[in-house]
Amino acid sequence: MEESRKVLYSAVQPTNNLTIGNYIGAIRNWVDLQNGYDCYFAIANMHAITVRQNPAELRQKTLALLALYIACGVDPEKCVLYLQSHVPAHAELAWVLNTFTYVGEMERMTQYKDKSSRHADNINMGLMDYPVLMAADILLYQADVVPVGLDQRQHLEIARDIAQRFNKALSPTFKVPEGLYVKVGAKINDLQEPSKKMSKSAENPNGSVFMSDDKDTVIRKFRRAVTDSDSDIRYAPEEKPGVSNLLSIYSVFSGKSVAEAEKEFAGAGYGEFKLAVGEAVAEKLEPLQKEQNRLLGDKAYLDGVLRSGMERAARAAGRTLNKVYKKIGFYQL
């Protein structure tokens, strides 16, 4: 890694079934970013257990996510790709940072309020402490930039606050990270409710296309996609949200511009158009899924990636944790 490059940190939880929206918004982004920054990418399994998980499934999904990212082009030679629980410094720093975080500010976090109403039977301390663990993730690596979705903005702001508070109370220790709210060319919306963002947990499963969907499923979902009453295939997000969403998706997956796509489908019927979009998506997913499965069959390789990621991450994290322990007054041998 080059000394002069900025450090970038990001993480994903291994619990979500990723949609093609995540692919466009997050995975592809990592692939681009790894060339411009010193990247640390984590699989955040410690965050995942703040809502109850099936242990066997959590283990399986961890490897599946790792394999998917590598299949999509995240290169473990170019970035540090690792599993959060493999680096104990995350939990250790989180404990220290807890003492620089106020209960009141955690109670006011939007995602905490939202998740505690959705998981009212399990409002555990981890759920409330989630942003502190996330702050520890980021601050351990002295990250300059953190690409996140807008839903994580509040968490990033808190990480900055905590860093500044610690720096002020003791002495400059943490880099105060900047959020990178990446504008992706296309925002992918729900196929059934095209004015809403495509999400992994939509009420109608036909509205979301998952990275793991097979060809028939993909085609079926696009065939059922909501369009509108006139029959023009043109990009007009306000007036024709369904058709415009399909055009965006087609554009991303075929590599053609929206204008080119409009031209291509001028005069075509919705049926033909939707089939073409489905096919473009399925065609792109198939090789990724195949590569993901091949990697999943090579556990020795995946373990090797995680081991080397762990070692590199632990080295960087250890340096920061050591400083923190000194400054806070922990007697060291």
Binding site for ligand TRP (CB under 6 A): 9-13, 44, 47, 134, 137-138, 146, 148, 152
Nearest alpha carbon to residue 262 among 228, 224, 236, 227: 236
Annotation marks residue 200 as catalytic: yes
CB of 44 or CB of 89, closer to ligand TRP = 44
Nearer to ligand TRP, 243 or 317 (CB): 317
Q: Is 240 one of the catalytic residues?
A: no
Least CB distance from residue 26 to ligand TRP, whole Å?
8
Listed in sequence order, the DSSP H helices in the chain are 20-22, 28-33, 45-48, 55-72, 89-98, 103-107, 110-118, 125-140, 153-169, 215-223, 241-254, 258-264, 270-296, 299-328
Q: Least distance (Å) from ligand TRP to the CB of residue 171?
A: 24
Closest CA to 217 of 286, 309, 317: 286
Which residue among 78, 187, 197, 256 is the active-site one?
197
Residue nearest to ligand TRP (CB): 11
Residue 109: CB minimum distance to ligand TRP, A: 11
Closest CA to 184 of 39, 43, 21, 12: 21
The least CB distance from residue 134 to ligand TRP, in Å, is 4
Q: Rank residues 11 and 79 by Cβ distance to ligand TRP and give the closer one.
A: 11
Please confirm, yes or no, whether 183 is among the known catalytic residues: no
Catalytic residue among 6, 113, 196, 200: 200
Distance between CA atoms of residues 130 and 155, nearest Å: 9
Q: How many Cβ atoms are within 10 Å of 117's Cβ, its own excluded?
A: 9
3-state DSSP assignment of residue 210: strand
128 within 8 A of 107, measured Cβ to Cβ: yes
Number of neighbouring beta carbons within 10 Å of residue 165: 15
Closer CB to ligand TRP, residue 5 or residue 200? Answer: 200
Closer residue to ligand TRP (CB): 93 or 226: 93
Residues in a beta bridge with 210: 19
The minimum distance between CB 33 and ligand TRP, in angstroms, equals 12
Q: Which residues participate in catalysis according to the annotation? A: 115, 197, 200
